[in-house]
Amino acid sequence: MKRLVYSLLIFKLWNSNVYSTFLKNLDLKVLYQWSQLEFDYLSEYERKTDIDTGNFIPGQIAPIDTDVHYPNDNSATRVFITIPRLQAGVPASLGTVSNENRNGNPIVTPYPSWEWHTNPKRCKANRLISVFRVMIDDCERLWVLDAGRLLDGIICPPQILAFDLKTNKLLHRYEIPTTQIESRSILVTPVVEIRDTRNHCQNTFVYLADCQTYSIIVYDLQRQTSWRVTDKTMYPNPDCGTYSIQGDSFDLMDGVLGMSLSPASLGGDRKLFYHAMSSSTENWVYTSYLRNQTRFSENPESSPEIFNTYPKRRGTQSAAEVINKDGIMFFGLMSDVKIACFNIRGEYGDSRSTDIVADNPVTLQFATGMKIIKNRRGIEELFVLTSRFQKVATGLNAAEINFRILAIDVESLISGKNCKVAGEPNTIISYPNNKNLGRYNLPSQVNT
């Protein structure tokens, strides 16, 4: 197997099934790709045993999210991947992509170890049952949101965990109180806001999306408490419940799922942007409101006035979203199989602040994971995991590439695009009349 040195700027990569090239505009490059997931078993015997017992079913399971860690000490870069236990046959729900492959499929090493993933029904103290998404923060902590679900039911209390990426040791664990979840709860997305990096970054809040109870749980690390917030903007829209992707259709009614934070560099109160996956709208709320536990202590639906919805709409559903240091949001478009950008200083959907930055009907199918990472040279990179999730229900074809992790440097991606603002990063896009904004520069435009 060829061994390639990992540098996203020069783009020499480790895996033999990944090509090496310079990044170019509008063309996300494949870092890793799989026809089916493979895991780092200690022996062929253990792999065969897991297959025989149904603990590992090759070709049936699918990844959802990715994140990348560039260590401050210049040690090896790690690419994390999540595999929620939506189907039977998932031996490990969180791992790192190794340098080895099996039949061209990069091998996933369970994180932090195999022990955390085995015998999920026992509900061990050190456990990871079903991880949809993760987030690495600026304090080199890996935040892991464990939904606690096995197939169709919750078997262990959902929990949020933080691992020290320098030592791989568990730093924090918090089980979500039963009063804040329901039997149908699926916790899918964590977004981390560090309020102060002093005192070991204890002043941290994590916003957790529950896509089935249509709510956001706010976790206060310093006070070791949490509370539930909900609003109609977090609900799915029945008109967006049918997905059509490259000839495949299926129904899904997921509520709030995509979430991202405005950068602290813009100053002022930060905004949490969010949308229900089965919807066409984008929404936001000031995090100062969410962090006020008193406001929601008696009623999680107490404050409809604090939530905001942009008047313009997408023409299709969207899963993950992410915002870079300059306030440029990136998000996938499901039916259109594209990636769009939006400058949060402008109006969502206006052609002067929204644009298409990537368009590939093969590699961009079902973008479920997105991250912005600053590499060791200080350059921001966009990472995207695409899962062809529409194929999972009908059966994956092991002769095709089904999953990919792609990346590109952000400046190349937005060069010449309407979401890029010339001049200072704090430039505000001003529109005289919001009711007469230009049309959304996307296919299947829905007017409001």
- Is the model's pLDDT at 398 over the cut of 70? yes
Work out the mean pLDDT of the chain and round it to a whole number. 89
* Angle subtended at Cα 218 by Cα 213 and Cα 223, rounded to the nearest 5 degrees: 145
- Is the model's pLDDT at 441 over the cut of 80? no
pLDDT at residue 26, as a whole number: 61
- Is the model's pLDDT at 216 over the cut of 60? yes
Residue 74's pLDDT band (cuts 50, 70, 90): confident
- State which H helix or E strand residue 47 sits in: helix 44-53
| Cα–Cα distance, 13 to 101 (Å, whole number) | 13
Q: For residue range 78-112, what is the model confidence (pLDDT) as tens digits?
A: 999 999 999 999 999 999 999 999 999 999 999 99
| Cα–Cα distance, 260 to 277 (Å, whole number) | 14
Q: For residue range 426-439, what is the model confidence (pLDDT) as tens digits?
A: 444 443 333 322 22
Q: Among residues of the chain, what percentage have pLDDT more than 90?
A: 82
pLDDT at residue 436, as a whole number: 27
- CA distances (Å), origin 368, targets 156, 365, 403: 24, 9, 11
- Is the model's pLDDT at 20 over the cut of 80? no
User: What does the pLDDT average to over 385-413?
Assistant: 91
pLDDT at residue 442, as a whole number: 34
pLDDT at residue 396, as a whole number: 85
- CA distances (Å), origin 89, targets 24, 133, 190, 358: 38, 19, 25, 33
**Facing residues of 150 across strands?**
153
Contacts (Cβ under 8 Å, ≥6 apart) of 401: 33, 34, 35
pTM over 0.85: yes
Q: Which of 231-240, 262-271, 420-429 has the lowest mean pLDDT?
A: 420-429
Q: For residue range 296-312, what is the model confidence (pLDDT) as tens digits?
A: 999 999 999 999 999 99
Residue 4's pLDDT band (cuts 50, 70, 90): very low
Q: Among residues of the chain, what percentage have pLDDT more than 70?
A: 88
Residue 72's pLDDT band (cuts 50, 70, 90): confident
pLDDT at residue 391, as a whole number: 84
| Cα–Cα distance, 256 to 287 (Å, whole number) | 16
- CA–chain centroid gap for 93, Å, is 15
